[in-house]
């Protein structure tokens, strides 16, 4: 037996006042204070839990009722209600549980719970995902979706699948499982916002707002003209009746719930059950608890999908036990968006500092045209300056400098297939930055460490997967350099020029967007190697920098050149051996006409195309055949194993002033949207970065 700290603590609880009929109200419950001993009774098999998250689930309404034919044991009036939750073991007399174990299972709606028989609790082994997931995708709702879809419905690729209450804790997963299986998926939900989430976040093929549809039969015929092979039923009633008219032969119906009926004194009658005979359909109700032996198998499937972002999960989190009654009642009126969870961690401990956290948030996707500052907004939230309890291998950082990079334009679009995911509207955008570790549960990082890598565009970020961060060892150079010269931009220039283009002394090198974060370095690397270097940029000021600061042999303003082919022939009468491509479009077409035999093109970016509705066609690609040109795109993250080698090369060059670097610095996170947009119109001179804090 083990225990920590104090022996007794105050314990707030949610109590059911009386049994309900019809829709439950917040006033049917109330909060009451008590105390609890934080040591298990002697000679027991018990555990004491500190509850971290509580799950709000539709089945709980039956436990709030006193029915003639009781479907489940009702709550005991005057005692805390119970439900699924995530908790930490504070004390244990059970051989299967130790102090500090994290668990999920049925617990009390209270701050601390004494569990006399914890045999049905699951130990949480995977703490590299949010703990709240064990109230949803990695808990009872997740296994419910998995069992209903895979075990009961036995799906086949190409099946037509319909999911009701599709934006809820279970429905959002069923739809994503079906899409991964190659099915055509339609979902229904109760608001335009939820319908948008179904189509644009969860990837449903179609979705509709059932509140806008007076005739469900006609609606289903419109969205499922071929009929329905699989119906995952979460609502029952009139929707189920309409589905029965639209089944395909040998259809399967998994009856998970019928939330539309739970508040009715008399359930709706189902008129069309005879359709099951004609269609030889199978309908099966089930309880997830009968399948918990399959939970390890489910984890093997779902965890990789989460980590690879092939499955996403939306949670609606209410902060604090005092908001639990409102959260529970809300699921019966459709107020929640996603899995409804109550978080205890929002009730901050006295020793855990809470600070304001300004964030740059994308309002909506910008799929075409030039993005505007108004497509982003500054929001202010609060953050606890401590890694949440129970979260392993995570760090909390204070962001110091943020990097503005061209690739971020594509992340502002709704991307279907990309090496990097889209930003999520309503959430902080992310990008490369320099930060200081404030708190850490990761063995490789400690408080005070300086790091660079991907972080949030906010004052503080919780990074749950910091594996791609780099510790900053050389602090005798400006920290801002780790957003550019000593960070991703520098590695991009090094990789593209040395690894992709394999340069030789005396070669003719052309760099577009040459005064930018990457281009200015490529030109200097080429000069150090003894190459002849020409660069292009978009203003007289930038041309002056290229020639007089970075040492390019020649440079020209592309905006003043009506014929790019003629311009290149003027600057490269012998042709081009190496082209470092940053812009694409007409410039690339002109370069292809001027490449030398066995020339190399490193395709780093095509910024001229990022805002176009439709990319410009490249007409001269055939010239790579007679010239035997090698043209290669690359992603710098594939070459990060070379970062130590790059530092060995570049740091002496910096200290000996053989390489210079120009930065365009915007002050304050409020200026970040303006700075980012400026990249796409060429407003920046040098590497664009944003100062969030200087320490």
Q: Which residues of 370-408 are buried (b: 16+ CB within 10 A; e: fewer)?
A: ebeeebbebeeeebbebbbbbbebbbbbbbbbbbbbbbb
Quick one: pLDDT at residue 392? 87
Query: Which part of the chain has CATH 3.40.50.720?
Result: 140-308, 488-656
Quick one: pLDDT at residue 66? 82
Taking a C-beta distance cutoff of 8 angstroms, is the pair 33, 116 a contact?
no
What would the pLDDT profile of 417-447 be if each residue is shown by its tens digit? Answer: 777 789 999 899 999 999 999 999 999 999 9
Phi, psi of 269, deg, nearest 5: -80, 140
Domain 8-137+313-343 adopts which CATH fold?
Quinone Oxidoreductase; Chain A, domain 1 (3.90.180)
Q: Which residues of 605-635 are buried (b: 16+ CB within 10 A; e: fewer)?
A: bbbbebeeeeeeeeeeeebeeebebebeeee
The CATH H-level (homologous superfamily) assignment of domain 357-485 is Medium-chain alcohol dehydrogenases, catalytic domain (3.90.180.10)
Domain 140-308 adopts which CATH fold?
Rossmann fold (3.40.50)
Quick one: pLDDT at residue 284? 94
Phi, psi of 220, deg, nearest 5: -65, -35
DSSP H/E element including 193: helix 192-200
Cα angle 651, 654, 655; round to 5: 90
Q: Rounded CA gap, 487 and 672, in Å?
A: 19
Taking a C-beta distance cutoff of 8 angstroms, is the pair 63, 97 a contact?
no
| Residue carrying the six token digits 């359709």 | 275
Supply the angle between the helices 237-244 and 216-223 in degrees, to the nearest 10: 50
Taking alpha carbons only, the member of 629, 620, 579 closest to residue 599 is: 629
Residue 436: CB atoms within 10 A of its CB come to 17
DSSP strand pairing (532-537 vs 508-511): parallel
Distances (CA, A) of 622 to 573, 581, 626, 627: 21, 17, 8, 9
Quick one: pLDDT at residue 354? 64
Taking a C-beta distance cutoff of 8 angstroms, is the pair 607, 406 a contact?
yes
Residues of the chain whose pLDDT is less than 50? 1-5, 346-352
* DSSP-assigned letters across all residues of 87-151: EEEEEE-STT--TT-EEEEEEESBSEEEES-GGG-EE----SS-GGGGGTTTSHHHHHHHIIIII
Quick one: pLDDT at residue 682? 85
What would the pLDDT profile of 217-236 be if each residue is shown by its tens digit? Answer: 999 999 999 999 999 999 99
Q: Report residue 161 as tokens.
A: 């699948």
Q: Rounded CA gap, 671 and 687, in Å?
A: 15
Question: In CATH, what is the architecture of 488-656?
Answer: 3-Layer(aba) Sandwich (3.40)
Q: Report residue 502 as tokens.
A: 């394999």
Q: Rounded CA gap, 105 and 402, in Å?
A: 41
Q: Rounded CA gap, 403 and 449, in Å?
A: 19
User: Reduced to 3 states, what is the DSSP secondary structure of residue 526?
Assistant: helix
Give the CA radius of gyration of the chain.
30
Taking alpha carbons only, the member of 636, 631, 599 closest to residue 493 is: 636
Q: pTM of whole model > 0.75?
A: no
Q: Rounded CA gap, 150 and 613, in Å?
A: 40
Supply the angle between the helices 540-548 and 519-529 in degrees, to the nearest 10: 30
Query: Which part of the chain has CATH 3.90.180.10?
Result: 8-137+313-343, 357-485
């Amino acid at each position: 037996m083990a225990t920590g700290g104090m022996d007794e603590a105050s314990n707030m609880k949610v109590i059911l006042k009386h049994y309900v009929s019809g829709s439950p109200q917040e006033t049917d419950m109330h909060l009451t204070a008590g105390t609890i001993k934080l040591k298990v009774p002697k000679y027991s098999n018990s555990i004491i839990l500190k509850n971290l998250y509580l799950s709000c689930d539709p089945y709980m309404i039956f436990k709030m009722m006193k029915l003639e034919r009781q479907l489940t044991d009702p709550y005991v009036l005057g005692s805390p209600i119970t439900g699924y939750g995530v908790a930490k073991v504070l004390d244990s007399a059970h051989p299967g549980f130790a102090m500090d174990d994290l668990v999920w299972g049925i617990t009390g709606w209270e701050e601390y719970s004494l569990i006399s028989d914890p045999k049905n609790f699951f130990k949480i082994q995977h703490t590299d995902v949010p703990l709240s997931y064990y109230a949803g995708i990695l808990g009872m709702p997740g296994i419910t979706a998995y069992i209903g879809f895979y075990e009961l419905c036995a799906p086949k690729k190409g099946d037509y699948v319909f999911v009701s209450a599709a934006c809820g804790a279970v429905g959002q997963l069923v739809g994503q499982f079906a899409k991964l299986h190659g099915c055509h998926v339609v979902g229904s939900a109760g608001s335009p916002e939820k319908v948008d989430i179904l189509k644009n976040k969860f990837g449903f093929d179609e979705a509709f707002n059932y509140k806008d549809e007076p005739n469900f039969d006609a609606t289903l015929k419109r969205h499922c003209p071929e009929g329905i092979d699989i119906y995952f039923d979460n609502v029952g009633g009139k929707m189920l009746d309409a589905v029965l008219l639209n089944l395909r032969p040998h259809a399967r119906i998994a009856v998970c719930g019928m939330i539309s009926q739970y508040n009715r004194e008399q359930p709706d009658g189902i008129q069309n059950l005879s359709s099951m005979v004609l269609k030889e359909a199978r309908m099966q109700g089930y309880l997830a608890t009968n399948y918990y032996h399959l939970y390890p198998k489910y984890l093997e499937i779902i965890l990789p999908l989460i980590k690879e972002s092939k499955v996403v999960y939306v949670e609606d989190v209410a902060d604090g036990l005092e908001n639990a009654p409102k959260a529970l009642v809300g699921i019966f009126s459709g107020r929640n968006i996603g899995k409804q969870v109550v978080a205890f961690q929002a009730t901050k401990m006295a020793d855990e500092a809470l600070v304001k956290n300004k964030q740059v948030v994308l309002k909506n996707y910008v799929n075409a045209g030039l993005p505007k500052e108004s497509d982003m907004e500054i929001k202010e939230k609060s953050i606890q300056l401590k890694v949440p309890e129970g979260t392993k291998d995570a760090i909390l950082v204070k962001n110091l400098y943020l990097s503005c990079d061209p690739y971020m334009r594509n992340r502002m679009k709704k991307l279907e297939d990309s090496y990097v995911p889209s930003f999520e509207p309503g959430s902080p955008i992310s990008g490369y930055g320099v930060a200081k570790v404030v708190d850490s549960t990761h063995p490789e990082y400690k408080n005070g460490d300086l790091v660079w890598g991907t972080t949030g565009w906010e004052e503080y970020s919780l990074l749950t997967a910091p594996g791609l961060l780099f510790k900053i060892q050389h602090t005798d150079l400006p920290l801002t350099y780790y957003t550019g010269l000593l960070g991703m931009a520098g590695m991009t220039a090094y990789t593209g020029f040395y690894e992709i283009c394999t340069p030789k002394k005396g070669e003719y090198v052309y760099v577009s967007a040459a005064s930018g974060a990457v281009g200015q370095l490529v030109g200097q690397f080429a000069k150090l190697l003894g190459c002849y270097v020409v660069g292009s940029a978009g203003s007289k000021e930038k041309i002056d920098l290229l020639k007089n600061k970075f040492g390019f042999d020649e440079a020209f303003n592309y905006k003043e050149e009506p014929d790019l082919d003629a311009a290149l022939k003027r600057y490269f009468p012998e042709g081009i051996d190496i082209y470092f491509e940053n812009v694409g479009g007409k410039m690339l077409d002109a370069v292809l006409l001027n490449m030398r035999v066995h020339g190399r093109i490193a395709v780093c970016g095509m910024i001229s195309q990022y805002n176009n509705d439709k990319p410009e066609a490249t007409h001269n690609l055939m010239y790579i055949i007679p010239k035997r040109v090698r043209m290669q795109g690359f992603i710098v993250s594939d070459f990060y194993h070379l970062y130590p080698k790059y530092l060995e090369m570049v740091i002496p060059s910096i200290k000996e002033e053989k390489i210079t670097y120009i930065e365009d610095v915007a002050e304050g996170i409020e200026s970040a949207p303006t700075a980012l947009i400026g990249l796409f119109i060429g407003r920046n001179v040098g590497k664009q970065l944003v100062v969030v804090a200087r320490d």
